[in-house]
């Protein structure tokens, strides 16, 4: 099966992965989760709803940004490959 077929059939999911909980990313995620939990306990009614709306909007922005960056990176990678494959002028294949 080709990589494009794997991608089509869902055998490849570029959005899956894990992270080291002791990494800077993991520490920041833990801080966010801990603070969100503490705030939800302290807030009531309107304030709680406002905070939840805020966190949901921020989550949406993060998802949109991740999608845009993924697409941009994929396109950039494709353009690099097009240039590499199309520009063999002056390249001696015996060197590879």
How confident is the model over 34-81, as pLDDT tens digits? Answer: 999 999 999 999 999 999 999 999 999 999 999 999 899 989 998 888
* CB-count burial class (<10 Å; 0-12, 13-18, 19+) for 65: exposed
Would you give the DSSP letter of residue 16?
-
Biggest alpha carbon distance in the chain? 71
| Angle of CA points 46, 37, 53, to nearest 5° | 40
- Residue 40, CB-side half-sphere exposure with 13 Å CA sphere: 10
pLDDT greater than 90 at residue 30: yes
**CA nearest neighbour of 56 among 30, 26, 36, 29:** 36
Calculate mean pLDDT across residues 83-88.
Answer: 76
């Amino acid at each position: 099966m080709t990589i494009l077929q794997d991608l089509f059939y869902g055998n490849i999911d570029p959005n899956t992965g894990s992270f080291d909980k002791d990494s800077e990313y993991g520490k920041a995620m833990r801080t966010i989760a801990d603070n969100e939990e503490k705030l939800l306990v302290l807030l009531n009614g309107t304030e709680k709803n406002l905070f939840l709306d805020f966190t949901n909007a921020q989550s949406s922005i993060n998802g949109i940004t991740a999608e845009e960056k993924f697409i941009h990176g994929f396109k950039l990678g494709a353009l690099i490959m097009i240039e590499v494959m199309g520009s063999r002028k002056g390249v001696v294949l015996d060197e590879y």
